[in-house]
Amino acid sequence: MKIFVTGTGIISALGTGTGATLQSLLSGESGIDVIRHLSTGHKEFPAGEVALPNEDIARMLGVGYPENGLRTVLLGITAAREAVSSASLADTDLADAAFVSGTTVGGMDKTEKYFKSAFDAESKTEDSLELKYNDCGYSSGMIADNTGPFGMVTTTSTACSSAANAIIFGANLIKSGVTDIVVAGGAEALTKFHLNGFNTLMILDKDTCRPFDRNRAGINLGEGAAYIVLESEESVKRRNVRPVAELSGYANTCDAFHQTATSENGEGAYLAMRKAMDMARLSPCDIDYVNAHGTGTPNNDASELAAMERIWGTQIPAFSSTKAFTGHTTSASGSIETVICLLALQHGFLPPNLGWRTPINEGGIPITGTDNQRDIKNIINNSFGFGGNDSSLIFSKCQLQ
């Protein structure tokens, strides 16, 4: 059964909407800069922040309390509404559709604001009631409520593969006959919990990150949201819409190697890519581009490169990490990078691996300049989460019967 993408929506450090995102990618402009909106003492770490404060996003969306104090929700509504609009979905279409959203931070920004006063209080207070918004499912529900009358709403939370797994879950809902239409993706705001947690792991880079570079030093965190509309072939024909691409293959694996690290031979990444190709009935030579997870950490990039070498040997297809554009948007990265892949597929370009200078080994040379002369048919998008929860998605040019 074929699954098609009929709409996209995105907001990140590259801008608001698919148009702004495309322009930034083609111009090679990174969205990573000094931290301006997050209230933190760690200004030494650059990040890929969305340029707008909560007040401006809330005003743009026309929402009030409690959405206006939840950045993950605000980012999610922005991207979800664009996806629904670009797919020309009406409320009648959404009534039977599913909304699947990936997040891990959820409403942590509100929790950070109210937790101490609630904890110090001797009894339940108004501040303590604000803590209910911490739940990941609350964020998904509020995004859905402000986007359309969905028939089903659910959440995936598998760290940095959350949004990719939301897309996989959405595709499985369609294949199992639960629904014909799914809006799937993820949203994640930058929080102090986020920044401090990764700083504790000692994997944040004080300079702009350099994925797949021999001298890479770690992650630049980011934030944002992206959603895509998935539809069955029957629904596409019934609604008479033109698909953006086909979700031709996908896989989720778990190597269970370590809580945060990946294995030296990239077993989980290898299996995810290999099984996704098997589902799509593609051979390694059919893949034109790999949007790598490529976080910029010593462990991830060496492991992911090893996995690619196991599949392609010395003939690795064009690959790059776009995290030097957006920062690592953690749970939202799978869908943000999906939209980037779909833009590449539609417009025939491959985004460069910004900041790269020196190869890890002889074969590990990513794309270093924007390539606008490509006939791209099949793209792999990798998203790897803590605990070895690894997912690969394959998007292909459409072939409607």
pLDDT reading at 399 higher than 70: no
Answer whether residue 244 is part of any domain: no
Q: Which residues lie below 8 Å from residue 45, measured CB to CB, with a gap of 6+? A: 35, 195, 199, 204, 205, 206, 220, 221
Neighbouring-strand partners of residue 390: 253, 384
By C-alpha distance, which of 45, 49, 165 is closest to 103?
A: 165
Query: How many Å from the N-terminal Cα to the C-terminal Cα in the chain?
Result: 12
DSSP structure class, residue 245 = E
Contact criterion met (CB below 8 Å) for 225 and 189: no
**What is the pLDDT at residue 257?**
64
215: domain CATH number? 3.40.47.10
Contact criterion met (CB below 8 Å) for 7 and 229: yes
* Pair 84, 221 in one domain: yes
Q: CA geometry: angle at 47 spanning 316 and 103, to 5°?
A: 75
Quote the CA–CA distance of 165 and 383 in Å, as a whole number. Answer: 9
Q: Number of folded domains in the chain?
A: 2
Q: What is the pLDDT of residues 356-366, one digit of tens each?
A: 999 998 778 99
Answer whether residue 347 is part of any domain: yes
* Pair 233, 253 in one domain: no
Between 80-84, 91-95, 127-131, 192-196, the lowest mean confidence (pLDDT) is in 127-131
Between 32-41, 109-118, 144-153, 271-280, the lowest mean confidence (pLDDT) is in 109-118
pLDDT reading at 162 higher than 90: yes
Helix (H/G/I), strand (E/B), else coil: 319? strand
Q: Cβ–Cβ contacts within 10 Å for residue 41, how many?
A: 8
Dihedral of the CA atoms 70, 73, 75, 81 (nearest 10)?
-150
* Pair 46, 133 in one domain: yes
* Pair 39, 152 in one domain: yes
Quote the CA–CA distance of 142 and 139 in Å, as a whole number. Answer: 5
**What is the pLDDT at residue 120?**
72
Average per-residue pLDDT for the chain: 93
DSSP structure class, residue 181 = E
* Pair 376, 228 in one domain: no
By C-alpha distance, which of 224, 228, 154 is closest to 189?
A: 224
- The residue type found at 294 is G
Q: CA geometry: angle at 37 spanning 31 and 39, to 5°?
A: 135
Answer whether residue 401 is part of any domain: no
What average pLDDT score do residues 238-253 get?
97
Answer whether residue 257 is part of any domain: yes
* Pair 232, 273 in one domain: no
* Pair 375, 289 in one domain: yes
Answer whether residue 126 is part of any domain: yes
Q: Which of 178, 206, 239 is the last residue of a domain?
A: 239
Answer whether residue 180 is part of any domain: yes
Q: Which domain holds residue 113?
A: 3-239
What are the b/e assignments for 163-180, b being 16+ CB within 10 Å?
A: bbbbbbbbbebbeeeebb
Asked if residue 66 has a cis previous peptide bond (ω within 30° of 0), the answer is yes
* Pair 96, 116 in one domain: yes
DSSP 80-102: HHHHHHHTT--HHHHTT-EEEEE
pLDDT reading at 126 higher than 80: no
Q: Cβ–Cβ contacts within 10 Å for residue 120, how many?
A: 9
- CA dihedral (394, 333, 262, 157) positive or negative: negative
**What is the pLDDT at residue 115?**
76
Between 119-133, 150-164, 260-274, the lowest mean confidence (pLDDT) is in 119-133
Q: Cβ–Cβ contacts within 10 Å for residue 378, how many?
A: 21
Contact criterion met (CB below 8 Å) for 246 and 5: yes
**What is the pLDDT at residue 121?**
72
Q: Which of 239, 270, 285 is the last residue of a domain?
A: 239
**Residue entry with tokens 């995810």:** 272
3-state SS of the chain: helix, strand, coil percent to 5?
Answer: 40, 20, 40
Q: Which of 211, 239, 267 is the last residue of a domain?
A: 239
* Pair 97, 46 in one domain: yes
Helix (H/G/I), strand (E/B), else coil: 105? coil
* Pair 324, 212 in one domain: no
Answer whether residue 97 is part of any domain: yes
Please give the C-alpha separations between residue 83 and each of 14, 229, 247, 356, in angstroms, as whole numbers. 17, 6, 16, 32
Quote the CA–CA distance of 352 and 349 in Å, as a whole number. Answer: 9
Band of residue 400 on the pLDDT scale cut at 50, 70, 90: low
Neighbouring-strand partners of residue 290: 319, 380
- The residue type found at 325 is F
Contact criterion met (CB below 8 Å) for 335 and 169: no
* Pair 77, 28 in one domain: yes
Please give the C-alpha separations between residue 367 and each of 19, 251, 322, in angstroms, as whole numbers. 22, 25, 10
Answer whether residue 118 is part of any domain: yes
* Pair 144, 229 in one domain: yes
